[in-house]
Amino acid sequence: MTAPRSELDVSVVLPCHNEAEHVQAEVDRICRALRDSGRSFEVIAIDDASTDDTLARLRESADKHPELVVHAFRRNGGSGTARRIGTQSSRGEYVVWTDADMTYPNDRIPELVAVLEDDPTYDQVVGARTSEQGTMRILRVPAKWFVRRLAERLTGERIPDLNSGFRAFRRAVALPYLPLLPPGFSCVTTITLSFLCNQHDVRYVPITYSSRAGRSKFSPVADAYRYLLQVLRMVTYFNPLSVLMPPALVLLGLSVVKGIYDMVRTPFYFPTNTILLFLTGLIIAVLALLADLIVRSRPGD
């Protein structure tokens, strides 16, 4: 996908769903920070079929802030859909993703952009949260830790915060990966893994994470499960050997060990379970090699 010539410095994509009580304050904070930085910018606010007065509040803010562009979805598409469409329609050289729930320090948006501007070796800057302020922390913290550690293991990269919604990246670099974004919260995980798996350097900047204004839409169990599936999906998409070959080698190794044991115990007789272990490991190994061949033969890879 060819990126058009950038007309602005920064595009901020702001998904909004039932944020009427505080969305105007968030828009004010973002616009004030970017104006003070002296950069040209736009704020693309997407009302994701809110059932409250979010859309009306956004349109009121648009009268006050000429940089604000408001899009309204007729049906709820999820934050991933909003971020994808917002990024595709953006005009900035740098795109910033954030939320409208007052959790992220949006006054630091110019700082993230400055990192990309000052160091061309980085293609993405992520605000890494230093604490977890969400609801049901007893479930969220271990679930996110497990998924993050799995992602680090599969990508071979240290990832301080896998699913932070506060990040800036080069629009031209991100465009080819936008079709991969899922509709839900795991879109932030997807864009992180897409960059890391394709050797784009990502920098992490520590940020404070405030308590959410309004009601959280995150489901600890369901969304953690989606995060796990998305990590496996994305790493398999870019590097299937790292996902499929380890279990294949484990099964093949177990079949060899068990085969030696069977040979000693009952010479020249292999039980069915030993044969099944070997064949299962062999099939997975062959699938891993075929998947890797497909990945390497994709156009543009």
Residue 220 has pLDDT above 90, yes or no: no
**Mean pLDDT of the region 162-171:** 94
- Supply the mean pLDDT for the chain: 88
pLDDT band at 74 (very low <50, low <70, confident <90, very high): very high
Distance CA 191, CA 79 (A): 13
**DSSP strands (E only) in the chain:** 8-16, 41-47, 68-72, 92-97, 122-129, 167-170, 201-207
Query: What's residue 3's pLDDT?
Result: 47
**Mean pLDDT of the region 209-216:** 69
**Count of CB atoms within 10 A of residue 65's CB?**
19
pLDDT band at 11 (very low <50, low <70, confident <90, very high): very high
Give residue-wise pLDDT tens across range 173-194.
999 999 989 887 689 989 999 9
Residue 165 has pLDDT above 60, yes or no: yes
Give residue-wise pLDDT tens across range 84-93.
999 999 999 9
Query: What's residue 186's pLDDT?
Result: 82
**Mean pLDDT of the region 101-112:** 95
Angle at 164 between CA 198 and CA 160, to 5 degrees: 70
Give residue-wise pLDDT tens across range 32-62.
999 999 999 999 999 999 999 999 999 999 9
Distance CA 246, CA 241 (A): 8
Q: For residues 111 and 198, is the Cβ–Cβ distance under 8 A? A: no
Query: What's residue 216's pLDDT?
Result: 58
**Mean pLDDT of the region 115-143:** 81
pLDDT band at 238 (very low <50, low <70, confident <90, very high): confident
Query: What's residue 300's pLDDT?
Result: 57
Distance CA 178, CA 185 (A): 14
DSSP secondary structure string, 240-269? Answer: HHHHHHHHHHHHHHHHHHHHHHHHHHSTT-
Query: What's residue 150's pLDDT?
Result: 82
Residue 1 has pLDDT above 50, yes or no: no
Residue 6 has pLDDT above 70, yes or no: no
